[in-house]
Amino acid sequence: MTRNQDMGRRAAVALCAAAALVGPASPAGAAAWTPGAGPAPRPDALVYVADLHSDTVSVVDTGTGAVVAGVPVGHGPDAVSVSPDGARAYVTNSASDTVSVIDTRTRTVIATIAVGDEPSRVTVSPDNQRVYVANVGSDNVSVISARTRAVTDTIAVGRAPLGVAVTPDGCTLYVANAASGTVSVVRTATGTVTGTIPVGSGPTALVLTPDGRHLYVSNLTSDDVSVVDVHEGAESDRIPVGDQPAGIGVRPDGRQVYVADIGSDSVSVISTRVRAVTDTVAVGDGPNGLAVGPDGSRVYVSNFESDTLSVIDTSTARATNTVTVGDGPTGVAAARGRADEPRCGPTAR
């Protein structure tokens, strides 16, 4: 086990059993779609789930609630992120120290990229040009060119980095450092850390509000969520939630933030207006990964201990469906529409 692993590995194991989707058979009921076998589900109607113990990514059709494919990836897939144009899914393989690149049309791995030690979360820049990978074991972030599929930069951050999020304009990257209790602020144009923000204990995941003004950070070991004022560069509030908060997501309208509470088998619903939990939704065992659907009507939560994906109706704040996926589901991603071009100028490195 590498250095910083006590706190970092605890957060990693609790969040995704290894730290954002070649091993055993695909999940039960999974059948890969191929051209000529009938119409495939629309890319914007799909959810991707990283199955840590199956070494697969389950592809779920949100319209039917069925697993339509199980894509073999590397060892210990931990997180998944879909590109803004929906064409690619990037998967961190925590036990292989690699990132698998999935063509979402053919549902096959088209590239495997070596990154840092124990890659955890992953996110794609709004302009679809850069992929950022937090490496929990090497205390850094790998920057991948989406065009060349090669690592173009490595950025040293805090101890045991897990969560990553990019501002809507693509200019700034935020990284949650689980063993440091901080968030690193990175200028994407230069790949330099420009600030460090103290938050709660064991920050594991974070999300920016759609307007880019606030950052919500789930703190695994202090059982709360930090609210960071981006303009001030400081924590402005702390919201108590359930036991061991992990995956986090926000509605497109910015009104609610959803947090998967591993130890409570529930999802906390936070009102961003009053900054308090206004509802709690019961889900499966060990919820950890979470994604909000593109239109905000559904929230998807992976339940690590029960090998399922819970579907929450945001209008009622209740789970309406449960989908059986692979073994040990962790990271979750819902396909999004194409993003606007960034406003901070070229960021190619």
257 in Cβ contact with 247 (< 8 Å): no
For 178-204, letters b (16+ CB in 10 Å) and e give bbbbbbbbbbbbebebeeebebbebbb
Looking at residue 283, its pLDDT comes to: 98
The continuous run of DSSP H or E covering 271 comes out as strand 266-271
**Nearest Cα residue to 61 out of 329, 303, 328, 300:** 300
The total number of residues written for the chain in this structure = 349
List pLDDT tens digits, range 98-119: 999 999 999 999 999 999 999 9
Looking at residue 344, its pLDDT comes to: 60
96 in Cβ contact with 114 (< 8 Å): no
Three-state SS for 291?
Answer: strand
Section 156-181 average pLDDT: 97
Apex CA 49: angle with CA 44 and CA 54, to 5°?
A: 145
List pLDDT tens digits, range 175-224: 999 999 999 999 999 999 999 999 999 999 999 999 999 999 999 999 99
What is the token pair recorded at 114?
A: 């070596």
Residue 9 has pLDDT above 50, yes or no: no
Section 137-163 average pLDDT: 97
Calpha distance 331→121 (Å, rounded): 8
**Nearest Cα residue to 181 out of 235, 107, 112:** 235
44 in Cβ contact with 63 (< 8 Å): no
329 in Cβ contact with 289 (< 8 Å): yes
**Residue type for position 180:** S
Euclidean distance between the first and the last CA atom of the chain, given in angstroms as a whole number? 32
Q: What is the value of pTM for the model shown?
A: 0.87
Which ranges constitute the DSSP H helices of 216-262? none
List pLDDT tens digits, range 283-329: 999 999 999 999 999 999 999 999 999 999 999 999 999 999 999 99
